Amino acid sequence: MTDCTTRSGAAPLPQGGGTAQTPEQGWARRLFGYCLRHRTDLLLAFGAALVAALATATLPLVLRHVVDGLADDTGSLTPWIALLAALGAVRFGASFTRRYRSGRLSLGVQYDLRNDAFAALLRLGGAQQDGLRTGQVVSRSISDITLVQTLLQFLPNLTGNALMFLCSLVFMALLSPLLTVVALVVGPLLYLIALRSRRDLFPANWHAQQEAAEVASTVEATVTGVRVVKGFGQEERELAGLEERARGLFASRLRVVRFTGRYNPALQAVPALGQVAVPALGQVAVLALGGWMALHGRISLGTFLAFTTYLGSFVTPVRQVATLLTVWQQARAGAERVLEVVDEAPVITDAPDARELPDRPPALSWQDVTFRHGDGPPLLDGFTLDVRAGETLALIGAAGSGKSTAAALLPRFYDVPSGTVAVDGTDVRHLSLASLRSRIGYVFEESLLVSDTVRANIAYGAPDATDEQIRAAARTARADEFVERLPQGYDTVVGEQGLTLSGGQRQRIALARALVGDPAILVLDDATSAIDARVEAEIHAGLHTETRRRTTLIVAHRRSTLELADRIAVLDGGRVADIGTLDELRSRSALFRTLLSTAEPTASEPVAQAPEGGVTADLWLRDGAAGTDTDESTAVRAAQALAEAAATSGPGRAG
């Protein structure tokens, strides 16, 4: 939304987190390397363009013989006419091949670039991904790559026309050196105009692409948070923010149009006598001088016709040079932005001697861990905690105490600058990322579901899971019952991000998604906050009765969740302030009792029953008085929940 997208058009990749590779090769050479992955299309596209150019350049010479033969009646013209037809057929076939193969080449390079950019994004560490701008990433993955595709489609044709230009120049010099010199007199001026346009067009196009990405980021944020926008009545504010971004994009695009409109007309060869364009001046001079020479017998009529045909063939190459200046600078801006994503080096990688994590419930350990985001205050400061193998341990603390941060260090979403995080006695930095993360089932508070079937969402982490495994995971997560009531059961397609389901239903499907892979470690980062306390107790009972005993780490706020843990660690200021069972902490920890006082009552506490005598005046007054206190406490809890949600948005941000 607006407050999230009003930053300047900076690159989306945080340069502080990773080291972007600085390629020794220029962007054009890098792009040529991508083209070499499709050698057949590359060779056929450019080869066909050259054949078409040679056929086109030969046609005026044959036409000259036909015209002079008709004028002088020198003999049969059948062979020359047949040659004209053959050259026309060759030109058609070569042009078709060039268009088809250049299209395949551009689409193939587009496919490779997009895949490499997406793979690079997935390799980034947590700190790098925290700095990603969705709109910038989408813009670079779609519109910027499309600019590169346009250039690759354009180049084979331009190459053929450039060859045709050179051949035409040679043939023109053979036909009439004087007319050739007159035609080329404007060449230096064209070069100077092209050089000036290159200097202006590239930065203008780069800035326009950045502004387009900012607009995409604003739209994406607003659409994603449309319920929040409507809930707080901020439609006008978001519209104003989008209008501001759109005005910036409009100004940037208009600047590009202004430069294009300034340079292209001067570079375009238009054979209209009244057109005031630089190449047209040379054309007018050639037509006037050549016509005078033909009328006075200095050159034959066929030679004059061939020369003017070659002169007309200058139109397309010079026009394409003008177009190339725009397309080239746009593609350069797009390619450099895409390659910046591709070259971003991941900070978190496998060590050369990385080991596999055994598939058994492991012990977990944090020893003297200190961690912060960038230059911010430490979220963990000397954090030390041990979780026994097969134990269920809960973390509780105020917002910003480090709960979610500690959990996010287990799968190496982040690496710690000091201290050690160990799983099964091994530093996580010495374990392979694939084996470490395959052993961890991680469930976040924000249960992101893809717009697909319930079955596909549950099987997301284990694509080869059988139907029985999917249903078993759903039963353990207490999702099977409500899924069966959906219109198509497990084949029901949930909406974008699962918005067609309630918060509790989304959390249960997310839990089933984590369980279907049968992980040895289960991390629940406030993952049952929207689930009824009774259902939550049933879920944990189901987890305990399974044959496999997991090591479970729970980030909790609700008292009902804490009651399900074997032990509870109380966090304060990025450290473990106390650890023990629920009863032990109740008796000795003032901080724990304070945290509990803001939690809602458990399902086991007595619930007021409706009076048998019905509603009376005393009851009305009593409930009215009680209502004031209840509303106040509810407001306090709501404010605390909002603060906690804001502080813990994103893994490890402040929780």
pLDDT tops 90 at residue 41:
yes
Distant-in-sequence, close-in-space partners of 386: CB < 8 Å, separation ≥ 6? 363, 364, 365, 366
Examine residue 511 and state whether it is found in any structural domain, yes or no.
no
Q: What percent of the chain has a predicted confidence (pLDDT) above 90?
A: 22
Please give the Cα distance from 205 to 325 (Å, whole number). Answer: 11
Helix (H) or strand (E) holding 467: helix 467-476
Fill in the amino acid letter for 242: L
Examine residue 437 and state whether it is found in any structural domain, yes or no.
no
Average pLDDT in the 377-400 region? Answer: 92
Examine residue 445 and state whether it is found in any structural domain, yes or no.
no
Examine residue 639 and state whether it is found in any structural domain, yes or no.
no
Question: Who has greater pLDDT, 486 or 624?
Answer: 486
Helix (H) or strand (E) holding 89: helix 78-123
Question: Who has greater pLDDT, 366 or 150?
Answer: 366
Q: What is the per-residue pLDDT for 599?
A: 61
Please, what's the largest Cα pairwise distance for the chain?
126
Examine residue 37 and state whether it is found in any structural domain, yes or no.
yes
Helix (H) or strand (E) holding 423: strand 418-423
Q: What is the per-residue pLDDT for 10?
A: 38
pLDDT tops 50 at residue 325:
yes
pLDDT digits (tens, 9 = 90+) for 428-482: 999 998 899 889 999 887 778 888 899 999 998 788 889 999 999 999 989 998 9
What is the pLDDT confidence band of residue 187, given thresholds at 50, 70 and 90?
low
Burial class of 301 by CB neighbour count within 10 A (0 to 12, 13 to 18, 19+): middle
Q: What is the per-residue pLDDT for 69?
A: 67
Q: What percent of the chain has a predicted confidence (pLDDT) above 70?
A: 70
pLDDT tops 90 at residue 393:
yes
What is the pLDDT confidence band of residue 652, given thresholds at 50, 70 and 90?
very low
pLDDT tops 90 at residue 194:
no
Q: Which two tokens stand for residue 98?
A: 């060039």
What is the pLDDT confidence band of residue 189, given thresholds at 50, 70 and 90?
low
Average pLDDT in the 516-534 region? Answer: 86
pLDDT tops 60 at residue 377:
yes
pLDDT digits (tens, 9 = 90+) for 564-578: 889 999 999 899 999
pLDDT tops 70 at residue 397:
yes
What is the pLDDT confidence band of residue 310, given thresholds at 50, 70 and 90?
confident
CATH of the domain at 163: 1.20.1560.10
Mean pLDDT of the chain: 75
Please give the Cα distance from 438 to 440 (Å, whole number). Answer: 6
Q: What is the per-residue pLDDT for 549?
A: 77
| Full domain range(s) for residue 186 | 18-342
- What HEC string does 111-128 produce? HHHHHHHHHHHHHCCHHH
> What sign has the CA pseudo-torsion 582, 587, 590, 596?
positive
What is the pLDDT confidence band of residue 535, given thresholds at 50, 70 and 90?
confident
Please give the Cα distance from 160 to 173 (Å, whole number). Answer: 20
Residue 290 dihedral angles phi and psi, to the nearest 5°: -65, -40
What is the pLDDT confidence band of residue 11, given thresholds at 50, 70 and 90?
very low
Q: What is the per-residue pLDDT for 185?
A: 64
pLDDT digits (tens, 9 = 90+) for 251-263: 887 887 777 766 6
- Cβ 397 vs Cβ 568: under 8 Å: no
Q: What is the per-residue pLDDT for 249?
A: 79
Examine residue 182 and state whether it is found in any structural domain, yes or no.
yes
This prediction has a pTM of 0.63
Q: Which stretches of 450-549 are assigned E, i.e. beta strand?
A: 521-525
pLDDT digits (tens, 9 = 90+) for 595-645: 988 765 444 444 334 333 333 333 223 333 333 333 333 333 333 333 333
Give the residue among 541, 567, 538 at the shortest CA–CA distance from 554.
Answer: 567
Count structural domains, the chain: 1
Question: Who has greater pLDDT, 580 or 120?
Answer: 580
Sheet of 567-572: strand order equals: 440-443, 521-525, 551-555, 392-397, 567-572, 575-580
Please give the Cα distance from 207 to 211 (Å, whole number). Answer: 6
Please give the Cα distance from 450 to 501 (Å, whole number). Answer: 12
Give the residue among 305, 341, 363 at the shortest CA–CA distance from 20.
Answer: 341
* Highest mean pLDDT, choosing among 75-89, 118-132, 195-209, 349-363: 349-363
Q: At what angle do helices 187-224 and 315-342 cross, to 10 degrees?
A: 40
Q: Which two tokens stand for residue 333?
A: 């801006």
Average pLDDT in the 288-294 region? Answer: 67
For 571, the 3-state DSSP assignment is strand
Average pLDDT in the 547-556 region? Answer: 82
Beta bridge partners of 426: 423
Q: What is the per-residue pLDDT for 8?
A: 34
Question: Who has greater pLDDT, 369 or 494?
Answer: 369
Give the count of beta carbons closer than 10 Å to the beta carbon of residue 611. Answer: 10
Q: What is the per-residue pLDDT for 229?
A: 65
pLDDT digits (tens, 9 = 90+) for 57-97: 888 878 777 776 666 666 666 787 888 888 889 989 998 99
Give the count of beta carbons closer than 10 Å to the beta carbon of residue 190. Answer: 19
What is the pLDDT confidence band of residue 387, given thresholds at 50, 70 and 90?
very high
